[in-house]
Amino acid sequence: MIYIGDNKTTGEIDSYSINTLNIPGIVLMENAARNFTGTIDTNLDNFLIVCGKGNNGGDGYAVARQLVSLNKRVSVFSCETSDMSRDCQINYDICRNLGIPMENDISALEELIISHDVVIDAVFGTGLDKPLAAPYDKIINNINQYGKYIISVDIPSGINGSTGETAGIAVKADRTVSFVTYKQGFLNYSAAEFLGKIKVVNIGLPEHVIKKFSNTVLMDKKYISSLLIPRLKYSHKGNFGHTLIIAGSPEFTGAAVISANAAVKTGSGLVTLAVFHECLNMLSSCSPEVMTADLSDKNRLLDLLKKVNSIAFGPGLGNNPRTLELLKFVLENSDAPMVIDADGINVLAEEPALLEKLKNRCILTPHLGEFSRISGLSIEEISKDRIKAAKDFSKKYSVILLLKGYNTIITNECDVYVNTTGNSSMANGGMGDTLTGITASLISQKYTIFASGKIGSFLHGYIGEKLSKRSFAITAEDIIRNIPFYQKKLFL
Ligand SMILES: NC(=O)C1=CN([C@@H]2O[C@H](COP(=O)(O)OP(=O)(O)OC[C@H]3O[C@@H](n4cnc5c(N)ncnc54)[C@H](OP(=O)(O)O)[C@@H]3O)[C@@H](O)[C@H]2O)[C@@H](O)CC1
Ligand SMILES: Nc1ncnc2c1ncn2[C@@H]1O[C@H](COP(=O)(O)OP(=O)(O)O)[C@@H](O)[C@H]1O
Ligand SMILES: [K+]
């Protein structure tokens, strides 16, 4: 599993490794450099390594030596040769002793970049702590300028590892090879254009050490597979729960159909779709397995509310007083776990006191706009640190929060899981309604609410990604049709 950490986490892991485990810093640096070098395509040659004076630069000098030992052509540019960190100085000296070509005259940098094929950026990592001034602005500009293949060590220089903000200017990497943790700042959408393809490598520390300092992880296939509740030989539909979907309005019947069909395909034993009377005759595109109910028949609704195992509330209901009244009715008459999405979230934003009734039994699945409405934070404020915004909200109301979008965040107020599956081929109407149906269906099948959010978002994005290899845009229907196949693949 890949853990996420900010600059403080890196510092804590570093000092624990050095001071408590007694691993010398230079050994960590050597491991970092070796594992970094191991990620480089063996066909590449003719490297220029641009080194700062801190430990990021130290990594760069150590990488230079590793590459030379692989018979690669290597030159080094030293941004500063005085006041280096201790381990940086050691590796600098070794490079000198080995006779690796080294330059520190800034006027020679452009020529050097032009005459090399690959630039390794080892100027700043987690220690960047102020805006960039001369000569660093020029150095970074030069690195970016000539269309060379750029690999950044730990963090593209100029990006703040904690916030993802730039120090005025930053290296635009093709690849970033980061040490120990995926840096929290990488999740800030504004950092995306600088990062290139990200890879996280270890520096010889076992997972239990990293875990001490981070409870934020990037979910992978193996982790999701580990959450599977196996189906027993003698199980029957009663074991896989009854999902009630409360959704749709005359303008948005599709949202209701999508959620219900997704719940069926995800494996809920039974699925009932409850809609307003005027929508009933528009449900012909529902899967035949979906049962229907009329929301104006209060007795039927009461009966369902008492017996179902999960309720999905919101898609396409409309942001209006009728939806708010309906939500109140549901909350007064059912204790079932709930997935609240779309207009369910919008009406909650009008009356946040209702969240009290959802304590410990609800997952909210807003996109950024909906989250802004319900949290009262602007989209800019949320975007600066989505993890913090999501965690704070989850803690305040004791709900699971699933903040949708590129790198979806799922948190139960202390642990945070980030879902990296999915891509912009999925950015079209109805995609969120699909996730709502999948998540509610999993809850009915006895997955915890938290696990349902994690599996749901991973599966949903995983299908989108796989299908997008062959199709440009992926629709909700495409996802739904493929749920059983990819669910089986994940849970093999
Ligand atoms: N456990 C781990 O994860 C391991 C981490 N390792 C590596 O260590 C890296 C962190 O090293 P680090 O702490 O020495 O900081 P780093 O990024 O080199 O920068 C600090 C230097 O830059 C300078 N400086 C800062 N801002 C500046 C500015 N705007 N403009 C100008 N100067 C500026 C600052 O100068 P100062 O302000 O102190 O004068 C200082 O000299 C980490 O990213 C990873 O690559 C590995 O070796 C293995 C173990
Ligand atoms: N660029 C993207 N990368 C990853 N996932 C995406 C991307 N764009 C959209 N998605 C996913 O698609 C879904 C869209 O949800 P939402 O905005 O609520 O759609 P709708 O309201 O139309 O149903 C979310 O699960 C989101 O994570
Ligand atoms: K760097």
Please state the ipTM of this predicted complex: 0.93
Positions at the binding site for K(+): 56, 121, 157
Residue 492, pLDDT > 80, answer: no
Smallest-distance ligand from the CA of 16: 1
Instruction: Return d(Cα 41, Cα 97) in angstroms, integer.
Output: 27
Task: Indicate the fold that domain 2-214 takes in CATH.
Answer: Rossmann fold (3.40.50)
Amino acid at 229: I
Check if 2-214 and 222-490 are the same fold.
no
pLDDT tens digits for range 339-398 = 999 999 999 999 999 999 999 999 999 999 999 999 999 999 999 999 999 999 999 999
How many whole angstroms separate alpha carbon 386 and alpha carbon 396? 15
CA-to-CA distance for 56 and 60, rounded, in angstroms? Answer: 6
Give the pLDDT confidence score for residue 282 in this predicted structure.
85
Q: What is the mean pLDDT of the chain?
A: 96
Beta strands in 12-143 (DSSP E): 47-51, 74-78, 102-103, 118-122
Query: In this structure, which residues have their CB less than 5 angstroms from ion ligand 3?
Result: 121, 152-153, 157
- Domain assignments of the chain as residue spans, ordered by start: 2-214, 222-490
Residue 469: DSSP 8-state? T
Q: Indicate which residue's Cα is closest to atom 15 of ligand 2.
A: 432
**Which residues, listed in sequence order, are joined to residue 310 by a DSSP beta bridge?**
243
For the CA of 181, the closest atom of ligand 1 is 3
Q: Would you state the structure tokens that stand for residue 241, as one six-digit string?
A: 């729960």
Contact of 411 with 401, CB cutoff 8 Å: yes
| Separation CA 324–CA 411 (nearest Å) | 25
Question: In a 10 Å sphere around its CB, with 0-12 CB exposed, 13-18 middle and 19+ buried, how is residue 277 labelled?
Answer: exposed
Question: What CATH number matches the domain at 222-490, 3.40.470.10, 3.40.1190.20, 3.30.2040.10, 1.10.287.3510?
Answer: 3.40.1190.20
pLDDT given at position 168 = 86
Confidence class of residue 76 from pLDDT cuts 50, 70 and 90? very high
Q: Is the CB of 13 under 6 A from ligand 1?
A: yes
- Among the bound ligands, name the one nearest to the CA of residue 26: 1
Q: Would you place residue 51 in the very low, low, confident or very high pLDDT band (cuts 50, 70, 90)?
A: very high
